[in-house]
A and B are shown apart, each in its own frame.
Chain A
C-alpha cells in the first residue's frame, strides 16, 4: 500500500480540486471569502490568464447555518424568526414563504386586511432591498456617493417599518393567519409621503447614475446572459427579467391579493448587466405603484385571524409555496408528518441559482467585469448558503 503522507501546501480541498488544468501559463486566484465585492463570504476560485478569466468556480458554505435542519427540530412558530435570517435584505418575503406554506397546508384563511398589510410591507421591503443593492453595486463599480442617497431613502423606510414591526432589518412580522401587529393612520400617511418622495428621487437617481457615462461603460454589453442560460440554471427574478423573460411569481402564480393590483413586469431584452440594473430600477417604481393601490384599497378588519392557532400544527401532507422576492422566486417545500415540527423543509433560494450561472458567464471576461457581473446578480450569501 502506498500512502503519500507529504503535506500538500498548494491550497485547500477546493483549490486542489480546481487545480488540474492543461494550461501552464495560467494562475489560480482566490476571490474572497473576504472580498468586499462578494458582499459576504462568497469565495470564487478563478483561473486567470493575465487579466482574463479562463475558469471560475464559486465555493459555498462559509455561512451555512443549517436552516433546513433547524426547521425539523424547532416547532412551527419557533421557526418564524429563521427565514428572515436567510435573506436579511428581503426578510419579509422569506417570512411570507414560510407562513404561506404552513397556512396553505393548514387551510388557514388570512383576513383581507392582513393580506393588504403583507403586500404593503413586503413591497416596502423590496424597495429597501433594491436600494441597498443599488448603492452597493455602484460602490463595487467605484461610485461612492449613490450609496449615501440610497441609505437616506432606506432610513426613512426602515423608520416606518420599525414602528409596526419592531425591527429594522430582520423582520419577524408575519404570523400564521395574519401579522403580529396592526398598522395605523400614521403608518399610512408616512408611507404615502415616502412614496411621493421616492418618485422625485428616482428622477435624481436616473440623472445621477443611470444616464452616467462611466456607469454605462461598466455595465452595457457586459455579462450577457441569454434566456436559455437562465433557464438551464433556473435563474429567476431580475436576472431572468433582465434577459427578456417576463416571469414574476406575483403574476405567474398569484398569491395573496396580488391579482387585484395593476402593475407591470419590467423586462429588458439587452441581457446584459444594464438590463438587470434597469429591471431593478423599474421594479422599485412598480412596487410604489402597488403600495399606493394597496393603501387606497386598504380594508378594515382583523389583522390576524381570530382563530389563528398560537401553536400551529399542520396536518400530514406536503405543500409548496412560492413568493417573488427581490432576488427571484423564493420557494418553500414543506413536508409534514402531522407533528409539532416539519418533517422536511426545503428552501429554494433564488440567489443560489443566480450564482450558479456565474461560472459559465464569466468565462473570457476581465476580472473587473466579473465584479460587475457578480454585482448585477444581486447576491446575498446567507441566503445562498442557508
Chain B
C-alpha cells in the first residue's frame, strides 16, 4: 500500500517534470498569437466576405450583371433581391414621371437588355456557400474580403451591392473591401 502510494507520487512528479519541460520549451518560442487591434494576421487569402458585384470592364460604375436572376433562384436562403427594368419600360416610366436626369435616356439606344436597378443582399441570412458566384454566367459576382466587417444593427447587413459598387467607383476607382 505504502509502496504503491510512493510509486504513484513519483509517477506524478515525473509527469509534472515532463509537462514543465514542454512548457519551458514553448515559453522561449516566438509568439504564435497576435495582439489583435494592434496587429492583424496575414493569412487571409481565400477569405470569403459577403458577395459583391464585379464592375464592368468599361464603366466601373456599372456591373457585369445581366439580371438573369440565376443567383436569386439558387440562393438557399433567398438572400438576394434583384430589381431590374427593361430600358424601354424605364424610358416610359421616366416620361410619365417627367423628371430625373435627362442624360440616362440614352440607355434605350442599346438592345433591350434589362438594366439592373438594385441588387440587395441580406447578409444576415447568407451561408456563404458560393453557389451564386459559381452559377453566374457573366462572372458578375465575387467575394469581398473585409474580414473586420461589423455592425450594431441588422439593417447594416442588408446591403445594396449596386449602390456600394457605385460608391466605390466614385471614391476610389478600384473596389476595395
Contact = CB atoms under 8 A, between A and B. Distances in A.
Contacts of B18: 207-208, 211-212
B131 interface: yes
Given A207-B18, A208-B18, A213-B8, A162 B129 contact: no
Interface string A162-189: 1111110010100000001000000000
Interface residues of A, number: 31
Interface in B1-42: 8, 11-12, 14-15, 18-19, 21-23, 26, 32
B46 A208 contact: no
B175 interface: no
A311 B76 CA distance: 13
A16 interface: no
Interface string A346-359: 00000000000000
Given A167-B48, A172-B129, A74 B14 contact: no
A82 interface: yes
A248 to B, nearest CB: 29
A180 B130 contact: yes
A163 B76 contact: no
B124 interface: no
B143 A145 contact: no
B87 to A, nearest CB: 29
Nearest to B9: A213
A204 B43 CA distance: 26
Nearest to A209: B19
B45 A162 contact: yes
B90 to A, nearest CB: 30
A172 B127 contact: yes
Contacts, number: 67
B135 A159 contact: no
A163 B46 CA distance: 4
Nearest to A168: B47
B135 A166 contact: no
Nearest to B75: A78
A133 interface: no
| Contact size range, B | 20 to 34
Contacts of B14: 213
B128 A166 contact: yes
A22 interface: no
A81 B129 contact: yes
Interface string A68-100: 000000100111111001000000000000000
A273 B26 CA distance: 29
Interface in B91-146: 127-131, 134-135, 143
A162 B15 contact: no
A85 B21 CA distance: 40
B74 interface: yes
Contacts of A164: 46
A320 B161 CA distance: 41
Contacts of A78: 74-76, 131
A149 B25 CA distance: 12
Contact of A208 (B19, B47, B127): B19
Interface string B64-81: 000000000011100000
Contact of B76 (A74, A149, A170, A211): A74
Nearest to A213: B15
A152 B31 CA distance: 11
Given A172-B130, A207-B18, A211-B18, A80 B135 contact: no
B15 A212 contact: yes
Contacts of A149: 26
A310 interface: yes
Nearest to A165: B46
A180 B46 contact: no
29 contacts: A78-B76, A80-B129, A80-B131, A81-B128, A85-B127, A145-B19, A145-B23, A152-B32, A162-B47, A163-B46, A165-B46, A166-B48, A166-B128, A166-B143, A167-B128, A170-B127, A172-B130, A180-B134, A207-B18, A207-B22, A208-B18, A211-B15, A211-B18, A212-B19, A213-B8, A213-B12, A213-B14, A214-B12, A214-B15
Interface of A: 74, 77-82, 85, 145, 149, 152, 155, 159, 162-167, 170, 172, 180, 204, 207-208, 211-214, 310-311
Q: Which 8 residue pairs spanning A and B have beta carbons closest together?
A: A163-B46, A78-B76, A213-B15, A81-B129, A172-B129, A166-B48, A81-B127, A159-B43
Given A81-B129, A165-B46, 17 more contacts: A78-B74, A80-B76, A80-B129, A85-B127, A152-B32, A166-B48, A167-B128, A172-B127, A172-B129, A180-B130, A180-B134, A204-B22, A207-B21, A207-B22, A211-B15, A214-B12, A214-B15
